[in-house]
Chains A and B, each alone.
Chain A
Amino acid sequence: MAAGSDSEEEEELVSYGAALQPLQEGERPKKPVPLQEQTVKDAKGRYQRFHGAFTGGFSAGYFNTVGTKEGWTPSAFVSSRQKRADRTVLGPEDFMDEEDLSEFGIAPKDITTTDDFASKTKDRIKEKARQIAGVVAAIPGTTAFDDLIGPSKITVGVELLRKMGWKEGQGIGPRVKRKPCRQKPDPTVKIYGCALPPGMSEGSEEEEDEYQPENVTFAPKDVMPVDLTPKENVHGLGYKGLDPSQALFGVSGREHLNLFTGGSEETSNLLGDLRHSKGRKLGITGQAFGVGALEEEDDDIYATDTLSKYDTVLKDEEPGDGLYGWTAPKQYKSKKRPEREFKYIGKVLDGFSLASKSSIAIKVYPPPQLPRNYRPVHYFRPVIAAGKENSSLQKALEESTGKLGSDAAQHSRHALDAAQRRELLGETGLKGPAPSVLEYLSEKDRERLKEVKQASEQQMKAKPVAQQPQNRFQPAPPEDASPRWQMVLGEQLANAAPSDFKPFARNPEKQKRYENFVKSLKQGEKDALERFLDPSMTEWERGREQEEFVRAAMFYRSSNSTLSSRFTRAKYEDDVDKVEVPRDQENDIDDKETAVKMKMFGKLTRDKFEWHPDKLLCKRFNVRDPYPDSSIVGLPKVKRDKYSVFNFLTVPEPTTSTTQATNKQIQESNSHNKPKKPSRWDVSDKEKEKKDSISEFISLARSKADVQQQPPVPAPEKCATGPSETLPTEVTNEGKDQEEESKRPPMDLFKAIFGSSSDEKSSSSEEESDEEQQATTSVMESETTKQADKPDSSSSSVQESVAAATEPGAASLSASKQELDEAEEFGPKLPPAFSSGRFCKLSDRKEKHRKTREKHKAKKEHKRKKEKKKKHKKQKNKGKHKNKKSEKDSSSDTTESSDSSDMDTTGLSPKELLRR
């Protein structure tokens, strides 16, 4: 079926040109002939010459030589003595080349119409030229006489027509009985001059027009041949130049003495008053000063009478109406006159003639219809703040300016971007590489943001200028210690080029606010932030957003390089289906960034790849080739379909998991900051106040240590919020757990698919976070005393690290104390509620942790070994320390066997010894 239709299609196809011959196997395609080598040859195989001897080209006989194929031989002498009689006269053709005689030569030998058969219109130009020549000639008029004397050449066509009874000036066709259509004055023709006497009005004319001789048939009107001469000059339309006859003799062409018309004077009168021009002198004269009203110009008696004034050809005299010729009945002629006069009574100005055709009325097109709601006044939009009380006014304004329509269009289906559509559909976001800081927010937080967004939607919609005035009345947010970071940031941003770094791309309003913030920060405004925050937000929300902005602005620079690092030159050709993708890629940097910020170097910041050194390189380094039988050099690559989904899926996998982990960490670090439930925020004013104090404190701490951003947060919170906060935290943690769990299945799926290629690190970090959560929950369950519950339930990673730091101190309390001091000095702050007395307990609990964790591990049956996990755990803890000593200890732990890691404290690794 398909084949049948194919063949049909082929039949229907139209092909142009000759198809290329199919290439033979092994045959190399012919190279195209370069332009300079392309030649044209004639039928005989000679080089084609495009110019003959008579047309300016060099032309030699045979291949540009004077010879022939046989060489050059002069023609043999032939005596012409006997052949004088039949000696032919040589014409120019005898000396011409073939090229000259060819189609484009000077004397083409193709069939053309001879003069006899040529149409008459063709030689009009010639005739005109002859006339002019006759006028300008030394003895003017000679050519005219030539015409009179010499036999006029009549073409065959005319001759034939004449024989059939045709007379010149008449149309061709059967004679008609009825009178030809009278030229009625066009109704659109304007009639100048005063009104006609009643006798001369149309009615009388009509009556007169009725005159029709009996039994007279008329030849049809001659068709005036259309002048088809193209306009080749640059003169204006209808420009004719100076008529030589007029110029030289001061007589207009129309003034020719009409020898043959009886009423010539009348006609000339009819055509226009020519008395003025009669007085002309030779040469070009004008009436520069005109003739006074009282003067009457006389005829110029000295005007020469020239022959050109006389008509030399018998022809029809009335250019407008050549119907009857000059032999027309007198009545008709006389009758014709009033119509003419009727049209225009006044004098025809010199140089002007009455139009034979009435001008066509200019069609006037109506102007375009204005829209109904158009107002011909430019409206300067007043700056109106989009407040709640102003929104209606704003709307009205927009309506008046027609902005509403565009706004509506903006919200049409097509104007939405993918994210907005997704939001409308209620789908979950893609798990892509974290594009923004927003990624680090929890699900709930995002929900909250969405809510906020929705709440302020109408307000925001029409908000070109933010709520500046409104904000003025708002109490200034708690940001007393802000100047310092402002200075820092301002400096940073001042020399940073504007870029499209969009940390809040998800939330356009927020992004807008952020941009405003950055802009004003660049200009060095102090109160930048307060102004651009959303007034509909609560105090706390604003504080948080402020922090976020500041952080984002801090990120700004490094993120810039981050962005640029995401774009590299194209490494793959576009038209290749398969693409060499590095099997392992360096993970997204966003999470690393946070890790670096938190000084958690180690696993989080490290990427490990298989790398194949060049063989020669190995040789030169005197190292055994690690991959003796691999042919790869560099990072191993995997061929993948270019547009395969899996290409993109592999990358997100590690990032999502790690971001989750880091998310969690961040969250935990300032978990109290986050809203647990939207309902929590309308609890009481008291709590709000408390929150203010918190944020104040936070910002203060932040400005103090702007490098160590994350760690100090939890400490002040804890002291401020107290035990009342613990319960919600639990709830959130559990909720988070559930969320995590619900998210898990797709991850497993990914792992199942990319079991081999999945990053070790990602899985480990995932597990880790998993572990942690599990541990916390289990601990919470197992914990009974409320007092103990307090520090643990928060289960912040920082705390854990603290616990880890103190853990070795289980053996010797004093040592641990010392360590704690150091930890406080360098590392994250400890909750002040901590007392050294609890360390034992803590360590106990820690062990419990470990047990539960291990249990959990066994239950889960991860691919990784226990040892490794433990080690990893250790490392992670270690990473959180800034304390050199504890770090060393823990690192020594790592090097030691994992079993003894809990107890080992004093043993120094050989590395350490070496270092000292």
Chain B
Amino acid sequence: GSIDSTVRCWDCRSRRPDPVQVLDEAKDGISSVKLSAYEILSGSVDGRVRRYDLRAGQLYSDYIGSPITSVCFTKDGQCVLVASLDSTLRLLDKDTGELLGEYTGHRSTTYRLDCVLSEQDTHVGCASEDGHVYFWDLVEGSLVLSLPVGTGVVQSLAFHPSLPCVLAATQGQVTLWREETFQPEGDPD
């Protein structure tokens, strides 16, 4: 994903420097790109989420309106989580583009912040500009937790694909969050 409003696909196996395919449908910079087994999901600042389905040979373009900062698939691959600059996370049905849920409460108006889904798709998380990481219940849509990570903008956020483990970065500081029962491996206790 590039600021020149294209998504470029390179072939890692060949040594050719030029991309295999350029997806230049976006009208503005691409802020986020995610891949599934057969899909390319791109979020663009032009307020659209585009999903290129390679298997079906289709392009689905969902209009969100506000510039999109981050997109991600749910683990089951049925939904798409979209974070946009109107301080809202939206859960969209992948197939129909319907709105399944909306999550608000955090602040995201200027920075490109990450959104995540927990390892079992039970919760939705998003970084915020107020130094917290917010977690919502995916189904209820209610705010479950706000982790105070730092004072500045939480610039990066990642969830472990299989463990309840969150990695957050803010102001030159990376913090790792685990569940309470977790014992670090090197720990003698």
A residues lining the B interface (CB < 8 Å) = 558, 561, 564-565, 568, 586, 589, 592-593, 595-597, 599, 601-603, 605-614, 616-618, 620-627, 633-635, 875, 878-879, 882, 884, 887-888, 891, 894, 911, 914-916
Contact = CB atoms under 8 A, between A and B. Distances in A.
Interface stretch (B62-70, B156-164, B179-187): B62-70
A916 B60 contact: no
15 contacts: A561-B46, A596-B65, A601-B99, A602-B93, A608-B60, A609-B58, A613-B21, A613-B57, A614-B20, A617-B21, A621-B54, A623-B54, A626-B57, A627-B57, A891-B93
Contacts of B37: 621-623
Contacts of A624: 55
B8 to A, nearest CB: 11
Contacts of A621: 37-38, 54
Contacts of A606: 60-63, 96-97
B176 to A, nearest CB: 27
B98 A878 contact: yes
Interface stretch (B125-133, B137-145, B146-154, B167-175): B137-145
Contact of B62 (A601, A633, A875, A879): A601
Contacts of B141: 884
B71 interface: no
Interface in B65-98: 65-67, 74, 76, 78, 90, 92-93, 96-98
B139 A916 contact: yes
Given A565-B28, A614-B20, A596 B64 contact: yes
Give the most central of A613, A626, A891, A894: most B CB within 10 Å: A613
B27 interface: yes
Nearest to B35: A621
A884 B100 contact: yes
Contacts of A894: 96
Contacts of B59: 607-611, 635
Contacts of B105: none
Nearest to B48: A586
A878 B21 CA distance: 36
Contacts of A596: 63-65
Q: Which 4 A-B pairs have the closest CB atoms?
A: A626-B57, A601-B99, A611-B59, A606-B97
A908 to B, nearest CB: 12
Contacts of A617: 9, 20-21, 54
A887 B54 contact: no
Nearest to B141: A884
Given A608-B59, A614-B9, A879-B99, A601 B90 contact: yes
A614 B57 CA distance: 10
Contacts of A568: 27
How big is chain B's contact interface, by range?
A: 35 or more
A914 B22 CA distance: 35
Contacts of A608: 58-61
A593 B54 contact: no
A911 B61 contact: no
A633 B21 CA distance: 8
Contacts of B78: 911, 914-915
Contacts of A633: 21
B21 A605 contact: no
**What does DSSP make chain B's interface, helix, strand, loop or mixed?**
loop
Given A606-B96, A882-B102, A561 B67 contact: yes
A496 B74 CA distance: 36
Give the most central of A596, A599, A879: most B CB within 10 Å: A596
Contacts of B100: 884, 887-888, 891
Nearest to A602: B98
B138 A612 contact: no
Given A607-B60, A915-B78, 20 more contacts: A561-B45, A565-B28, A586-B61, A596-B63, A601-B62, A602-B99, A603-B97, A611-B52, A611-B53, A613-B21, A616-B20, A623-B38, A623-B54, A625-B57, A626-B58, A891-B96, A914-B76, A914-B78, A915-B74, A915-B139
B121 A915 contact: yes
Contact of A626 (B47, B54, B92, B93): B54
Interface in B103-139: 121, 138-139
Contacts of A561: 28, 45-47, 67
B64 to A, nearest CB: 7
B56 to A, nearest CB: 6
A702 B105 CA distance: 20
A613 B52 contact: yes
Contacts of A887: 98-100
A792 B62 CA distance: 32
Contacts of B52: 611, 613
A491 to B, nearest CB: 11
Contacts of B47: 558, 561, 589
A623 B20 CA distance: 15
Contacts of A602: 93, 96-99
Nearest to A557: B66
A507 B78 CA distance: 46
Contacts of B9: 614, 617
B57 A593 contact: no
Nearest to A605: B63
A616 B19 CA distance: 11
A627 B101 CA distance: 34
Nearest to A630: B57
A635 B20 CA distance: 15
A608 B24 CA distance: 16
Contacts of A884: 100-101, 139-141
A915 B138 contact: yes
Contacts of A611: 52-53, 57-59
A760 to B, nearest CB: 12
A613 B76 CA distance: 24
